[in-house]
Structure 1
Amino acid sequence: MIEMQDVWKTYPDGTHAVRGITLKVDRNEFVYIVGPSGAGKSTFMKMVYREERPTKGQIFVNGVNLVSLKQRKLPYVRRHIGVIFQDFRLLPKLTIFENIAFAMEVIEAPKRLIKKRTMEVLELVKLKDKAGSLPSQLSGGEQQRIAIARAIVNNPAVIIADEPTGNLDPDTSWGIMKLLEEINFRGTTIMMATHNKEMVNTFRKRVIAIEKGMVVRDELRGEYGYED
């Protein structure tokens, strides 16, 4: 599903954000990426959907080598990768329905399928009644649910979630986590970067800890392992 082979990322200023990471994430796994701020987690995540390219090494997602992949083919690969951001990144002038539907329109899905699938994911995230609302009319938790709906509307094989509960209150965060668990149960691989110690220690999944750009711990049913 996701495989990294001796992956390095060095920025032009000489910063080594990722140093020699080798790992494999299997289909249907749920993996937490943890570590202190500045450890290289965001760079690591961005390389999985090729917002960043490694300086050295190979990265495979669904059997596709992202390093050698031609730029014109990247949009087709990204159809199978859903990304959830901490700051939601919803389009403010579009309704909730339109924000989700847009993800299907860009891949030229049939209009009838767009309407059907968009309403399906709105029902899954329990916001069907908000279809005609604008993002500004929703709470932070509701906006994150819409961001999740947009990420899954094209039935991706893998979801990359970078601090999806970072801006949310604790109660809302638990709801988002339970939703992600349900999506994972339905067969989607999830890789989630988080600083939420209580959540990691409660929803025991595989934990990959990154420090100074290196994997220092990789445990099944692991714990967060850092002080607040």
Structure 2
Amino acid sequence: MIQMKNVYKVYKNGVAALNGIDVSIQKGDFVYVVGPSGAGKTSFIKMMYREEVPSKGEVYINNVELGRLKKKDVPFLRRDIGVIFQDFKLLQRKSVYENVSFALEVIEENPKKIRRRVMSVLDQVGLKHKARFIPAQLSGGEQQRIAIARAIVNNPKVVIADEPTGNLDPETSWEIMRLFEDINSSGTTVIMATHSQEIVNNMKKRVIAMENGQVVRDEHRGEYGYEA
């Protein structure tokens, strides 16, 4: 489903973020990407939704090489990819409902289908009763739930999360991780960069460990492997 072949990334300032990455991720995988700060995790993640392109090498999603994808085709690629960030990136002046519906409105989905689907995913994340609230009226955990709802409202094949529990307390983090498990159990591929040793060690998923822009470990049912 996702393949990286000999991928390098060197930024304009000379920083080498990725140094010869070869990785294959299959449909339905749940993958943690771990490693120390500066290991290349964020660059690795961004390659998958074409926020970045390789300096050398190839990245494929469903046999489409992202480096050759025209700019006008990137939005179509991203319809099959849900992305979740540590800082939520919600639209602060829009309601919970509007934040989630926006992802469907931009692809001109039928209004009746939009309402049905938005209310369904809000129910899935346990926040249907707060559809009219704005982000400032929600806790951090609730805002992350809305970000997850927005990411899955298109029924994406892949969900990519960059430190989704980084700003949350431990109890809320586990609630969020249970949501990711539910999403994965429906067949969606989940790829998550994280620094949470406790979550990785307890959930026993595939672990890709990175150091200095390289994959140094790729284990099924792996552990975090670094000091917390």
TM-score range, shorter chain: over 0.9
Deviation sequence 1:139-184 (CA, Å, 0-9, x none): 0000000000000000000011000000000000000001000000
Within the alignment, does 1:53 sit opposite 2:53 as a pair? yes
Residue pairs, 1:33-182, within 5 angstroms: 33-182=33-182
Q: Which residue of 2 aligns with 1:206?
A: 206
CA distance in 1, matches of 2:55, 2:107: 30
Give 5+ residue unaligned stretches, structure 1. none
CA distance in 2, matches of 1:223, 1:129: 37
CA distance in 1, matches of 2:129, 2:63: 39
Give 5+ residue unaligned stretches, structure 2. none
- Backbone CA RMSD of aligned residues: 0.5
Percent pairwise identity: 61
TM-score by length of structure 2 reads 0.99
Q: Which residue of 2 aligns with 1:17?
A: 17
The secondary structure found in structure 1 opposite 2:191 is strand
Deviation sequence 1:52-85 (CA, Å, 0-9, x none): 1110011011221101111111100100000000
Amino acid of the residue matched to residue 195 of structure 1?
Answer: H
Amino acid of the residue matched to residue 114 of structure 2?
Answer: I
CA distance in 1, matches of 2:210, 2:113: 40
Amino acid of the residue matched to residue 131 of structure 1?
Answer: A
TM-superposed CA distance for 1:29, in Å, is: 0.3
Q: Which residue of 2 aligns with 1:183?
A: 183
TM-score by length of structure 1 reads 0.99
TM-superposed CA distance for 1:130, in Å, is: 0.4
TM-superposed CA distance for 1:13, in Å, is: 1.7
The secondary structure found in structure 2 opposite 1:67 is helix
CA distance in 1, matches of 2:64, 2:112: 30
The runs of 4+ residues in structure 1 deviating greater than 3 Å are none
Amino acid of the residue matched to residue 189 of structure 1?
Answer: T
CA distance in 1, matches of 2:107, 2:37: 35
CA distance in 1, matches of 2:69, 2:12: 22
TM-superposed CA distance for 1:50, in Å, is: 0.6
TM-superposed CA distance for 1:107, in Å, is: 0.8
